A and B are shown apart, each in its own frame.
Chain A
Amino acid sequence: MALGARDTQVCITCSNVKSFLAVLQTIKSTSKQPCTLIIGHEGFSARLEDDSRSLFSSVFVAAQLFADFKCPGAKRTLGIPLNQLIDILNVFSAGFGGDLNLKYPGPSNELLCEMVEESGAANACTYASISTSDAPYPADPLDHWSPPVSHFIINGAFLKEAIEDLEWSASGSRGVELQMSAQPPSVSLCSYGSAGDLLIDLPSAELQGFSCQPEGIHFTYKHKHLRAAFTSLSVPKDASASISTKVTIDSQGMVKAVHLVNMASAAKSSAMSAPISYSALPSSQAGGVRSSVIQFVVIPEEELDAPISE
């Protein structure tokens, strides 16, 4: 029986806990909802739905990015409080370069983590267990994705700055309006608040892969959702790296923001911080499976039916 249990247990070995942690932290939120982990033979993903049900965050790390990845049998879905998982990974990331082993399920369906380190004066073994709950396979908001779509790619720093600037006028207002027009190609973000109105045009010279439906785009979103989708990536310390983000908007106003995180250092990391770079190139161009995918989907606010102003 024990052997049988081991045969069907998910076993993941992660040699770069810092990168793994950094990726998961991008979708960290204050939401009390447990995050759903989906572990299948193709990789590890975490999905989180905001309490308001209009922000969906997800992270996908391909199996190849782990030092070892065994997931016999069908896909597993499990509910786990994301903050607890991050707290625990934080403990392991402080370690001295041992491999982290993740196992599921434990004797009472926990997620088990273990790290054995042989450096230092003594042998150390750190282990943890996190209780999990049953979780149904999460509904994918992209099931309701309705073409035609409009999209653009931009250095994430511009988006981040725009969203941060909009903060003062967005508080107390209905939200942030995202406008796109096909001719001339332009993207603007604006908010009309009690403190004042602010409209920010993203520099059109920086827009790439621009495509907009001829009638233009005009939707309103909660500021905090856009902030989560556009700004939660921590900017790499070295200035040479930049974040570029692909933003796609469908005909109903559903926004999909995709960030690809290069985990090239997944091979073997030292105790130093692992370099991470962000790019929004399709994974085939960005070195195939070296990247993990962080995706945010934001649903527009209901009252957007009435256009606010021109």
Chain B
Amino acid sequence: MKFKADITDHGLRLLEKGILPTLEKFGKTCQLLLGPVDIHLLQTAVNTDGAHTVVRLAHEAIFEANSLRLESKHHNLIAFTLELALLSRVLRAAGANDADLLEVKLALRNVSSGPNGVTQARPFLTFTSQGANMNMVQDLPITKPFIAEEIDKLSREKDLAQLCPYYINLQGEVSRLQGLVDKSKGISSTMTLVTTKGGAIHIHVDGGSVQLACEMHGLQVFPAGVSETATPITATSAEARLKEAIEKGQTASVCLLARHFGKSLQGGQLTQPAQLLCGIGENLGYVHLLFIFRDPLSEGGYDDNMGLSFKLPVRDDS
């Protein structure tokens, strides 16, 4: 089992400023899956309080070209769990060192444990940064690499959600939504999320004697054809528009934990995607948030080397 690669400046910034802070909102640990084409950072229910997060990074997104060596007996896949806070700290220190080269590799080290000084081989991710003034070596403890079955399970979990029938683009409204979700925490811990094919989302927070709701309409709908299948809504008030859309069968509605939705939106503020797509699964079983990133240099203008998505569980009492 071998893994060694050089992390680029861009990759370092991406992880340190955007991805790791986002994942840290959901849980303390994450599972890292290293593969021949890309790497995944995954959080499943064992890492979080119910939400699934998946980050996909193509090697080009974070590693220097031709610097990668990856070998294992199981389809050249390696997986393990690590602590996000430690990884953040290691990367921050490496970034502050302003290194010319930041190398990461998988290593076994003998560490003494227990009072009688018994040495034991433990797995580490070793980060070596070579700067003009200083060379720094940091060892990040990780769990034992996963066995074949665990890797297969994780590989299945990375393809977490089937695509939803349609998505609404929330980018542009993230800070407004964030404010609403944060301030409504005192009213109720859950919220009802409704998307309409016409390009509106409705959020409803029910606090018994207090009801709070918000409608945003005029949002982009993907795939492009969907909004044309929706008949226009004519009602003049937000409440009536929601009722009309429900009557016309153009809505999907689920109840979810407000804090899950809020954390996802924070991820949107940290990583600044070009599009933040929000969809509700076909069977109303989950909320899917899909982050699409921009790459002005690529053909379509979108960055295919990087993906971030959240699958949020829904509550039964919707």
Tell me the A residues contacting B by CB distance below 8 Å: 81, 84, 87-88, 90-91, 94-96, 114, 117, 120-131
Contacts and interface: CB of A to CB of B under 8 A. Distances in A.
Interface of B: 171-173, 176, 179-180, 182-184, 186-187, 207, 209-219, 237-239
Nearest to B179: A94
B210 A88 contact: yes
A123 B187 contact: no
B209 A84 contact: yes
Nearest to A91: B183
A90 B214 contact: no
A116 to B, nearest CB: 8
B14 to A, nearest CB: 25
Nearest to A130: B210
A122 B213 contact: no
Given A91-B183, A120-B176, A129-B210, 14 more contacts: A81-B209, A84-B207, A88-B187, A88-B212, A91-B179, A91-B180, A114-B238, A121-B173, A121-B219, A122-B218, A122-B219, A126-B214, A128-B210, A131-B209
A105 B273 CA distance: 43
Contacts of B211: 128-130
B179 A95 contact: yes
Nearest to B184: A91
Smallest CB-CB A-B distances: 10 pairs: A121-B172, A94-B179, A131-B209, A125-B238, A122-B218, A91-B183, A128-B212, A126-B214, A124-B216, A125-B215
Contact of B212 (A91, A96, A125, A131): A91
A94 B180 contact: yes
B210 A131 contact: yes
B213 A128 contact: yes
A232 B238 CA distance: 37
A128 B187 CA distance: 11
B189 to A, nearest CB: 14
Contact of B239 (A81, A117, A127): A127
Given A87-B187, A130-B209, A122 B217 contact: yes
Contacts of B209: 81, 84, 130-131
A191 to B, nearest CB: 34
Nearest to A87: B186
A contact patch SS: mixed
Given A84-B207, A129-B210, A131-B210, A124 B183 contact: no
B176 A124 contact: yes
A88 B214 CA distance: 12
Contact of B173 (A81, A87, A120): A120
A123 B219 CA distance: 9
A123 B173 CA distance: 10
B216 A122 contact: yes
A9 B182 CA distance: 31
Contact of B172 (A87, A91, A114, A122): A122
Nearest to B238: A125
Contacts of A84: 187, 207, 209-210
15 contacts: A87-B186, A87-B210, A90-B183, A91-B184, A121-B172, A121-B173, A121-B218, A124-B176, A124-B214, A125-B216, A125-B238, A126-B213, A127-B238, A130-B210, A131-B210
A117 B213 CA distance: 14
A84 B183 CA distance: 12
Contacts of A126: 180, 212-215
Contacts of A90: 183, 186
Nearest to B177: A124
A87 B186 CA distance: 7
B214 A127 contact: yes
Contacts of A81: 209
Nearest to A126: B214
Contact of B218 (A91, A95, A123, A131): A123
B262 to A, nearest CB: 13
Contacts of B182: 94
A95 B172 CA distance: 14
Question: Which of A94, A117, A124, A129 has the most chain B CB atoms closer than 10 A to its own CB?
Answer: A124
B214 A125 contact: yes
B217 A123 contact: yes
Contacts of A124: 173, 176, 214-216
B182 to A, nearest CB: 8
Nearest to B183: A91
A95 B179 CA distance: 8
A111 to B, nearest CB: 10
A81 B207 CA distance: 13
A114 B236 CA distance: 13
Contacts of B187: 84, 87-88
Contacts of B186: 87, 90
A94 B262 CA distance: 15
A117 B215 CA distance: 10
A126 B176 CA distance: 11
A219 B214 CA distance: 51
Contacts of A131: 209-210
A127 B210 CA distance: 11
B239 to A, nearest CB: 7
Nearest to A121: B172
A127 B238 CA distance: 8
A35 to B, nearest CB: 14
